[in-house]
Each structure stands twice: as C-alpha cells, then as structure tokens.
Amino acid sequence: MLKVIYNEKDQTYKLHKNYPNAACCYKQILRAGARTTADSKYKLLSCVTFPQDFVVPPDVEAVITECRRPYSSKVLQKDGFSFVHPQKPDPTPSSSPEERPSVLLWGIDSLSRMNFELTMPLTYKYFREQPWYELQGYNKMGDNTFPNLMAILTGFNQTRSYSKCRPTAVGGLDACPMIWKRFKAEGYATAYAEDWASISTFDYLKKGFRRRPTDVYGRPLVLALEKELKKKYIKEIPYCLGRKSSAEYIYDLAEQFTEVHKNRSFFGMFWTNSFSHNDFSLPSAMDARMVKYMRTLDHNGIMQNTIIIFFSDHGTRFGLLRKLDSGFLEERLPVIYIRLPKWIRDKYPEFLDNLKANKNRLTSPYDIHATLKHILELDTPAEQLPRPEGCPTCHSVFQAVSLSRNCSLAGIDDHWCSCGGFTEVSSTDQMAKTIAEQLVEAINQFLISLKGTQKCRHLKLDKIMSVHRKGNSSVYLIQLSISPGGGFLEASAEWNPKTQKISTSVPSISRLDSYGTQSRCVQVKEAKKFCVC
C-alpha cells in the first residue's frame, strides 16, 4: 500500500500511497530505556496521519506505518521503514574521497565457505565473475560470534575483549575502542545494524550499547519490527517480519546508508543472523536476493569507491552438518570475499597481487582488523602499520601472508586450528578413556568455578564417539557424549603420558548439537553449552 521514494537530488524520502484514498499514519520509533535497558527498549510516538507523497522529516529515522480504508478503524496494512538521512559533511576531510575508500562489512552469521558454495550458488557464481577475491584459508579464532567479531573490530583476543570492553556491564561496550570510532574520528559516516534482536552480537547475555554506537544504528528499528509486526518463525528464527524477511530490513538499510553517503566516506557494518544461524539450508532462500543487493550496490556506483568485505564469523557450529566428517572444517572456515574499487586495484597493484596470493594461505579475523587499519592509511609502508594487540604477527591481507605461517602466528587457538593432519586412535584405548573421563571432570570443575551455575547437574561420560591424534603431537581431538542431556561435544586435550593427566581449555570445547532449553537455568554464557538444569 505504501512505497518509499528516495529523491537523490535533495536526499529526502517521500511516502507514496498506492491507493490515494487510504488513511495512513506513522509512529516514529525512538531509542528508549536507560542504563540496563538502554539497548533493549524502544518507544513509539503516537500515530501521525500524513498526506499523499509526504516528505519524511529529517529527524525521523524509523517508523511503523498503519494504513486503513477511509472511515474504517481496521488496520489493513502495517509496515516498518527506515530512513537514513545525510550526516553533516566532515568539515576538514584529511584527503579527497578519491584517496579515501569507504568500507562496507556485509556479514552473515554461521556461514562456512563450503556451505556458502552449496546454498548460495548464484552469489558464488556472481563473485567469481566479478573482481571479488576470496580467502579460502580464513580460519575463525574463537568459538562463536562475539570473539570473532571483536577480533575484527578491536584486534583484541577473547580475554581482552571481556576485560577491556566489559560487555556485561552497562556502558562497557561504549568505552570499547571499536574500529568504527577510528573511522568516525577521520570524518567517516558510520553505521551498524544487526537482525534478530535477542541473539545480536552485543546483546545476547550482554548489555549492548548505552549510547548509540554509530551515526546510523539499526537496533531500535529491529526491536520495534519484532514487537509490532507479524512474525513468521522458521527453526525458532523470526525469519519474516511483516511483509519482508528480517535480513532485508538490515540490507535495505545498508543500501540506503551507502546511497545517501556515496559522495563522502563511510564505514558500515551490516550483520544478519536470521537466515543462517539455526538452519544450514536456509541461506538458499536469500541467494537470488543477495545477487540483487550486490548488483544494486554496483548500479548505484557504491563499488567505485568502497572496499566491501562479504564474510561470516564461523561455519555451522551445531546440528547435522557438524556431525559429518567435514564438520571439523565446516565449523572452522567461514566464508570471506573482498572487493576492491578499480582505482585501488590500479593505484596499488601490489595489494591485488598479495590478496590473490593470500587466497590459499592461512588468515584470521585479526588480519581483517589490520586490513581495516591499513585502509585508513593506504600509503603507510607495511612495516609502520599498526598490528592487532591480540595477534602482533597478524597483518593486512593487502600484504603477502607467509607460506609457513601456522595457527599460532595467525592468532588462532590450537583447538580452532584447521591445519595439520589427524590420525584415528581406537576409542576403546585405555588412554582415550582416561582422556575422555578427565575432560568431563574438567567441565564439571569449570561449571562449579562459575557463579550462578548451582542448578547445573553433575555430568558423566556417556560414550566416546571418536579420537584423533593431531599430527605427531600429544594433542588429541575427542568427540564424546555426556549424560544427562545427551550433549555431543568435541574437545582438544593435550596428554602428558608421564603424569597421565590432560590439559585443556574448557571454554573452547565445542558443543555439536543444539543445547536448546537444557540450560535455561543459567544466564552465564560460557556455561550454556555444558549446563543441564
């Protein structure tokens, strides 16, 4: 019933009624809440009736609209819209836009390189026909979304991400040195948006941001859409909100943000969970749409001056795919493609050569952090560029990665490292049994050591599924099930034959099936995958 028409000349939006007699009004969406609820509440202003081709005021960034037949009280159609208005231009840009590429991080949660090719063949084909460069040896550095995105956004390892950015304290993340602050300080317009409010990276069992972190911030819109519009769930994901898929609101916002700011520098991160997190086959539903988004960015001229990173944080972490033999690599190797504007390819041919050479080398999220910093100073000699704190041996992917690089040099913990061969060990072997029993005991001790886990039950080893030895090392990869609850785990443990004891990092142990509601009695994130209430 309603169409948003963008006027490129004066950068305004019009609300056009397809049925001119329809009575429509809009409710402005605002951030609300304070302290602990600052990032989880929104407020709707009362419904303002508007005429045909109403020009949206510049302070209105998101709305819920309602349309009725004339003199009818029944709402015929309800929608949600975002409007990105231009930021004031930077008064003193340090260099001309020609020398300052914009940056667009286009993210999809839980999508491996393998599964991307299987479920999004059209996008895969499009990337191969266009100047997109893949990093096939891109290996996650930590378990789930938060550490991997924080490595990109801050260069911190997981421990530092928690100690320095305190995501569970109100205002903790606000004080965190997110990379978008660097871009903002350089005069870039900034944006961040993510769908599926309850599991969003900075809000799932965390406090989110007290103040809006970027110029354009999608969260109030997403909170309102999920509450005000009709939802359709697929595999417990709010996949559709009203008449669009959840992800489309995020990517439409990206389209608006880049279009409005195309004549200045911008940095935007647009992240979606809603068509990939719980169902490995669902990305296929977005495949054709994704190609359309990419073609629109190209058509709008965005690609002429924007470095685009199309990426994920990790592969499928639980479920059927993870239990296959390929599940080990599935989880560890997220998809990532990078596109450089033509002028950068022409001006810095060595960047392109290096990026191509890095296709089959080992890279990690820390390298992407270093790359973002490199983008801020493209002419600085490689040896003078800043290195990520969490991985001082990591560097921009526009520099060649050494062929002899190993996981430790790429900042990737042993357990998440996909390099190195494995040999099978019999699961009835006495050492295998001892390792498995000690692992379960380590998990029990870990749960006891955490606050708020009193309701978690004592775990026992149920069955050893498989044991593999990593190369010639004393590190073993073990898959086992536990009881009660039947959790299916995969753990790395280093075996000391002298002491007959293992050393392991319990937080790094993977849970290969979904813990679902088993751990509803704990709110401690690290305990969720082990705790059975």
CB nearer to Zn ion: pick between 82 and 510 = 510
Is residue 484 reached through a cis peptide bond, with omega within 30 degrees of 0 on the bond before it? yes
Whether the CB-CB separation of 6 and 81 falls below 8 Å is answered with no
CB 124 to Zn ion: min, Å: 20
CB 333 to Zn ion: min, Å: 14
The helix/strand/coil state of 340 is coil
Nearest Cα to 520, choosing from 512, 510, 511, 532?
A: 532
Q: Which residues bind to Zn ion, rule: CB under 5 A?
A: 109, 145, 313
CB nearer to Zn ion: pick between 195 and 313 = 313
Distance of CA 217 to the CA centre of its chain: 15
- Helix, strand, coil shares, percent, the chain, to 5: 35, 25, 45
CB 524 to Zn ion: min, Å: 18
Whether the CB-CB separation of 443 and 530 falls below 8 Å is answered with yes
The helix/strand/coil state of 511 is strand
CB 108 to Zn ion: min, Å: 9
CB 361 to Zn ion: min, Å: 24
User: Cα separation of 492 and 499, whole Å?
Assistant: 18
- Return the residue nearest Zn ion (CB atom): 145
Nearest Cα to 26, choosing from 46, 6, 2, 53?
A: 46
Token digits for 236?
A: 């417990």
CB 416 to Zn ion: min, Å: 13
Token digits for 290?
A: 């994704």
CB nearer to Zn ion: pick between 109 and 174 = 109
CB nearer to Zn ion: pick between 265 and 273 = 273
Residue type, 472: N
CB nearer to Zn ion: pick between 133 and 271 = 271
Instruction: Kindly tell me the burial class for residue 23, based on how many C-beta atoms sit within 10 Å of its own C-beta (0-12, 13-18, 19 or more).
Output: middle
CB nearer to Zn ion: pick between 173 and 302 = 173
CB nearer to Zn ion: pick between 109 and 255 = 109
CB 313 to Zn ion: min, Å: 4
**H or E element in which residue 492 lies:** strand 488-496
